[in-house]
Amino acid sequence: GGIARASEMCQPERIPQFLTPSLNPLSGLMTFYSQDLVICESLLRFFRDYAELFVPMLTREQCLALFSASAELLKGYSAHHCSSRVIKHCVKSSAQADLEEEQSYNDVLCALQLLIHLGTKDFIDVCTIEGAGQVESSQVTDVIFFGLQQILPLMTSGLLQFPTLCTQYFSLVGFMMDTYPEKVCTLPFDLFNALLESLLFGMSHADVFVSKSSLFGIGGLAREHLKTQVLAG
């Protein structure tokens, strides 16, 4: 994490040049240290920080290396921590106790934030000179939806009671469904259905941002459906 944060230098592009060859081996550590959640969270935090700070300056090859390593990282994380992990949210009177309980799921938050930062590459490339490290939009969306598929088993109603996690999750899902509805319609049914069910849950959420993000996502799907109906007619 310290290397990823060390961007206050004259030539920050040296850091991606140094780190890119190590990304795949680092992602493999998720499986090697699968029993140690502290190390797993540190790996997620490193990839999140690296994506946040360096995605704008990565070349196409460096970005694809980051996408590939992130996919493997989340796949390993899912295999060892998503399917069997039990999420419990106890009702407590202390706000401090609630905060401490939410912090015990910082690994999940890091995974969500990693996907959010990776997704910004699609919009950064719109503003760059053509050919200067551009990555195809489909390559960005593929890794985001793959990552969502890996962490969806954790997104239970219990976990979504934590405000920060809930906001980050619905911000990401609502945005992806609203912005890339044509991609959503080609997803495997199980993934599509799980994402849609989570949006239906978010629509009735007490938090205005969560319900609005969910409605935006469903609105994007509705527009895509109407567009395809018109084209078919």
Domain that holds residue 84: 1-154
pLDDT (tens digit per residue) in 28-56: 999 999 889 899 999 999 999 999 999 98
Residues 34, 145 within the same domain: yes
Strands (E), 107-170: none
144 and 213 inside one domain: no
145, 165: one domain: no
If asked whether residues 32 and 5 sit together in one domain, one would say: yes
Task: Using CA atoms of 125, 127, 129, 131 in order, give the dihedral in degrees to the nearest 10.
Answer: 20
Mean pLDDT of 12-24: 90
Q: Are both 170 and 149 inside the same structural domain?
A: no
Looking at the fold, whether 103 and 168 belong to one and the same domain comes out as: no
Among 132, 154, 176, identify where a domain stops.
154
Residues 34 and 117 occupy one common structural domain: yes
Query: How high is the pLDDT of residue 31?
Result: 92
Estimate the share of the chain in helix, then strand, then coil, as percent rounded to the nearest 5. Answer: 75, 0, 25
Same structural domain, 144 and 168: no
The residues near 117 (Cβ < 8 Å, ≥ 6 apart) are 48, 51, 52, 55
pLDDT tens-digit readout, 68-111: 999 999 999 998 877 656 565 555 556 666 666 777 889 999 99
* CB 24 within 8 Å of CB 69: yes
* 24 and 107 housed in the same domain: yes
Looking at the structure, tell me whether residues 227 and 187 fall in a common domain.
yes
- Indicate if 54 and 27 belong to the same structural domain: yes
H/E stretch holding 109: helix 106-119
Residues 15, 116, single domain; the answer is yes
